[in-house]
Amino acid sequence: MDTLTIAGRDYSSRLLVGTGKYKDFDETRRAVEASGAEIVTVAIRRTNLGQDPSQPNLLDALPPSKYTYLPNTAGCYTADEAVRTLRLARELLDGHDLVKLEVLGDPKSLYPNVVETIRAAEILIKEGFKVMVYTSDDPIIAKQLEQMGCVAVMPLASLIGSGMGILNPWNLQIIINEARVPVIVDAGVGTASDAAIAMELGCAGVLMNTAIAGAQNPVLMASAMNKAVQAGREAYLAGRMPKKIYTASPSSPTSGVIGS
Amino acid sequence: MDTLTIAGRDYSSRLLVGTGKYKDFDETRRAVEASGAEIVTVAIRRTNLGQDPSQPNLLDALPPSKYTYLPNTAGCYTADEAVRTLRLARELLDGHDLVKLEVLGDPKSLYPNVVETIRAAEILIKEGFKVMVYTSDDPIIAKQLEQMGCVAVMPLASLIGSGMGILNPWNLQIIINEARVPVIVDAGVGTASDAAIAMELGCAGVLMNTAIAGAQNPVLMASAMNKAVQAGREAYLAGRMPKKIYTASPSSPTSGVIGS
Amino acid sequence: MDTLTIAGRDYSSRLLVGTGKYKDFDETRRAVEASGAEIVTVAIRRTNLGQDPSQPNLLDALPPSKYTYLPNTAGCYTADEAVRTLRLARELLDGHDLVKLEVLGDPKSLYPNVVETIRAAEILIKEGFKVMVYTSDDPIIAKQLEQMGCVAVMPLASLIGSGMGILNPWNLQIIINEARVPVIVDAGVGTASDAAIAMELGCAGVLMNTAIAGAQNPVLMASAMNKAVQAGREAYLAGRMPKKIYTASPSSPTSGVIGS
Amino acid sequence: MDTLTIAGRDYSSRLLVGTGKYKDFDETRRAVEASGAEIVTVAIRRTNLGQDPSQPNLLDALPPSKYTYLPNTAGCYTADEAVRTLRLARELLDGHDLVKLEVLGDPKSLYPNVVETIRAAEILIKEGFKVMVYTSDDPIIAKQLEQMGCVAVMPLASLIGSGMGILNPWNLQIIINEARVPVIVDAGVGTASDAAIAMELGCAGVLMNTAIAGAQNPVLMASAMNKAVQAGREAYLAGRMPKKIYTASPSSPTSGVIGS
């Protein structure tokens, strides 16, 4: 059985989804169901998990008995903010320790600040959190985060919310080749083929939010992403045909190239 | 219900597959089943459909009651050869008139000869064939073939058997925008994401052979392609999010660009 | 000495330029001078070469004693129109027989109609014209045009006036590999690097108009193109370093790939 | 006059070249001359600048009266090594303080270690060095290095010695848009068009070594690079035509996109 294992727990779906940017929690629920995701990430600072009892609670739409919650630090620009946010999440979620750390560099690009990210990861790991970490596609930083004890490394495909797809598959390939924890592409996926490409590169999973929530029909796009991640994974496992400039070529002149 | 309609008949699968290059007819059958394809294409000159009663017959592995056969003219380099081959197919298949025409330009590149293709299509249409036509990604030729009466136009993504994927999505986009018959990408798909991209561009379907038969695990790759075509179709119908250079951008500066 | 030979005559510049779309003939002259071009192409139907004696005459701005004129058939959609236009050009230019043939498929895409192009080339060659022929990037058509006797084959990089650059370098590469006459990229170049890439692929030259005339500073862009074509040619002759995924790689895993 | 200004000094050439990997110092000299470069970078740990009086001295081949020397820290994997190396360079070069800092992450990828790079830059700037800094294409790190006082920011195009060209023009574009010091692409350029593209993006200059030294004809490639950098700069200043999907389009649907 081909499963994704994170922090010792197995998941059959390799698609992780965000819960923000939907019309309402009902649309969130229907999209998450169509996506087949088992792990849902939640922006602790923007989502009602019971902080405001007068408002709808995401925990009702997506019961924690059914989904693994992954609290995240969206909107945090320093290590301190991120650490405080995740301590709050642990309280809100009764000691839950699997978290997604992201520390952003500036509000325009939303590119990660890797120096602050490393600082935050250090503190969180010491405090017993299991840290899945959003980062750039810098392979040296990715390795350092793994060696510090992060349970998954989550490089960007392109800027958060941009939908530009995988801008630099070569860096992702280096990260994947060197990693011993799951590598999950996080941010930048825009459509189904982007998710398939990530999986074909050998990613362990894909995390997305805007690509689904920002589609004209989010529920149908969630279904597309569900299939695309499976398709990409199966294609990776099946071992694709070699690329050839001419089919008549005796050997593959592009072997070794990404995707070949 | 989202169906592919060719020559007046509806199909629920948008993946068409070849039957050659497999280890044996049993592998062919298992791969075709995993692909979910309802239309299978057969190289008349290379496949035993009963011409040699002492050998295994493809019609036993893939019963015509279950699959729509699409005889093709693989290996033909002139209009005359192609026409003769399809007349033979009609005889072998009891008057079957849905065919795939391909006339190649040379044995090294296997690039189509569009001039001979037009000549052959003219003759075949006059003789009552329903012609699905393999062609280059030349939008003027594609339109001409449609106007002559071809029931589907099938431009290449890249060279036959190359697995190079979609080399020129812009030409495909023009063909799709202008066509009133189904546009089916034929040749060049190498892995699952290639098929998804074709569908996201708005193709009506994808036809492939080597991408499945040439994978290390053909049956698993067939399953990947089945899901990839569905994923790409659903993503196309769902309407993807706009691409943005920065998510903070007020509007999408890449709108109008392919894939945006 | 590295020269471009067309129809038996040597040129030291490998950049061919159009003369249309400038503010006035003075700007045309300054841009052509900055480009270093020796061959200038002229849309016979749109340019005053003396047909109207009351208007400025291009022959005064760019004296035929200094430049090789290449009358073209811009705006022609049938073989007959193109042939008539070039007969007229021969009269206007005192028996000049080097011409650029282009027959377009439709006014929206301006994509070539290769069937009509072949028809026109046949007639023109019989009538003693030396035909440089604009065509698609279809390698079979390109070979056929060469075999008919065209003195140069000029495939598009992308649509006329689009500035999209080289959309399918693979087809160009096949055309170049197989050709025995000069292959000159015509149409689609948008900026200097596009021209350099064309030359690095092994093209014998590049023809452009809008990329220069449509720049904000046409004369400076003409200078850029002059240098870019030389840079690309020298890089081609110098033999580039192999591409390597890692520099530490023992051998080049991408050898054989375009640009490697 | 369009000049490159670094640490208060003007240069007319925007091409900076390395001095390693040549057959001998004579080839180095001829290639540097053909490149037109005014700034040459030297791997202090690998190059004889007089440390060994019995061997040829680079200072004789490339006189410091004619070239600005840029000592670099090639082969350093920690901040401390890099700092020590540049202190040594300052001694060897009589108080010369313009340096190129690079701290690598591992010997396989040669990807920069940005955390150690920041540490080293801090020390060097305090000690009065003028630091041109090699870094990844991370825009947040690039901005931080600028704000610390580096006199030029030099992001990679792709891995050192790979010749893969510009893998992520989008990140480079962000760095360029936000920078107030010169942005010079360093590492990864493989051929002339790569250099032109870097300049068209708006880079202030390009630094390369292997692309020239590793060509089959290094001196001719140096000349190609000289012209390519000028071509790209002029194209940038000239303001390229807009990209259009169809030339007939009323407006440019790809405006805002890189290279449009």
Residue B115 to residue C115, Cβ atoms within 8 A: yes
Q: How does strand C98-101 pair with strand C130-135? A: parallel
Residue of B76, B109, B117, B162 best to disrupt the C interface, most CBs of C under 10 A: B109
d(C-alpha B111, C-alpha D22), whole Å: 43
User: Which residues, at least 6 apart from C101, have a Cβ–Cβ distance to it below 8 Å?
Assistant: C72, C73, C82, C86, C117, C120, C121, C124, C131, C132, C133, C134, C150
Which residues on B lie below 8 Å from D170 (Cβ)?
245
**Tell me, what DSSP letter sits at residue C218?**
H
pTM of the predicted protein model = 0.94
Which residues on B lie below 8 Å from D251 (Cβ)?
none
For D228-252, how does the pLDDT look when each residue is reduced to its tens digit (9 = 90+)? 999 999 999 999 999 987 765 444 3
Residue percentage of chain D with pLDDT more than 70:
95
User: Which residues, at least 6 apart from D144, have a Cβ–Cβ distance to it below 8 Å?
Assistant: A115, D118
Residue A114 to residue D171, Cβ atoms within 8 A: no
d(C-alpha D134, C-alpha D151), whole Å: 11
Residue of D241, D249, D252, D260 best to disrupt the C interface, most CBs of C under 10 A: D241
CA distance from start to end of chain A: 26
CB pairs under 8 A between A and D: 64
D259 annotated as ligand-binding = no
For C30-55, how does the pLDDT look when each residue is reduced to its tens digit (9 = 90+)? 999 999 999 999 998 888 888 889 99
Confidence of residue A89 (pLDDT cuts 50, 70, 90): very high
Q: Token pair of B187, please?
A: 């040749």
d(C-alpha D9, C-alpha C250), whole Å: 41
Residue of A108, A166, A189, A193 best to disrupt the B interface, most CBs of B under 10 A: A193
Confidence of residue B255 (pLDDT cuts 50, 70, 90): very low
The pLDDT value given to residue A20: 92
Count each helix (H run) and each strand (E run) in chain B, helices first: 9, 10
Question: How does DSSP assign C115-154, residue by residue?
Answer: HHHHHHHHHHHHTT-EEEEEE-S-HHHHHHHHHHT-SEEE
Residue B141 to residue C170, Cβ atoms within 8 A: no
d(C-alpha A47, C-alpha D20), whole Å: 56
* Cβ neighbours, 10 Å, residue C91: 10
Catalytic residue ranges of C: 100
d(C-alpha D32, C-alpha D39), whole Å: 9
Domain D14-238 has CATH 3.20.20.70: yes
For C69-106, how does the pLDDT look when each residue is reduced to its tens digit (9 = 90+)? 999 999 999 999 999 999 999 998 888 899 999 999 99
Q: Please give the single-letter amino acid code of residue A150.
A: C
**What average pLDDT does chain B have?**
93
CB C190 within 8 A of CB C157: no
The pLDDT value given to residue D245: 79
In total, chain B counts a number of residues equal to 260
Confidence of residue A258 (pLDDT cuts 50, 70, 90): low
CA distances from C16 to B80, C104, C161, D242 (A): 41, 20, 15, 21
Which residue's entry shows tokens 């020559």? B7
Residue A192 to residue B259, Cβ atoms within 8 A: no
d(C-alpha C102, C-alpha A234), whole Å: 47
CB A100 within 8 A of CB A154: yes
For B208-235, how does the pLDDT look when each residue is reduced to its tens digit (9 = 90+)? 999 999 999 999 999 999 999 999 999 9
CB D68 within 8 A of CB D98: yes
* Three state DSSP letters for A160-172: CCCCCCCCCHHHH
Q: What is the mean pLDDT of residues C8-19?
A: 97
Q: C1 vs chain D: nearest CA distance in angstroms?
A: 14
- ipTM value > 0.90: yes
Q: Could you tell me which chain C residue has the CA closest to the CA of A252? A: C256
Spell B59-88 as b/e; 16+ CB within 10 A means b: bebbeeeebbbbbbbbbbeebebbbebbee
CA distance from start to end of chain B: 26
For D58-75, how does the pLDDT look when each residue is reduced to its tens digit (9 = 90+)? 999 999 999 999 999 999
Q: How does strand A205-208 pair with strand A184-186? A: parallel
Residue A141 to residue D114, Cβ atoms within 8 A: yes
- Residue B122 in 3-state DSSP? helix
The pLDDT value given to residue D248: 55
CB B75 within 8 A of CB B82: no
CA distances from B244 to A168, B239, D250 (A): 17, 15, 22
CB D207 within 8 A of CB D41: yes
Torsions phi, psi of D253, nearest 5?
-75, -5
**Tell me, what DSSP letter sits at residue A40?**
E
Residue B141 to residue C114, Cβ atoms within 8 A: yes
The answer, yes or no, to whether residue A259 has pLDDT greater than 80, is: no
Q: Token pair of C252, please?
A: 């080049």
Nearest of A64, A146, A80 to residue A113 by alpha carbon? A80
Angle between helices B25-35 and B218-238 (to 10 degrees): 20
Q: B140 vs chain C: nearest CA distance in angstroms?
A: 6
The answer, yes or no, to whether residue A95 has pLDDT greater than 50, is: yes
Which residues on B lie below 8 Å from D173 (Cβ)?
245
Binding site members of B for 1-deoxy-D-xylulose 5-phosphate: 161, 187-188, 209-210
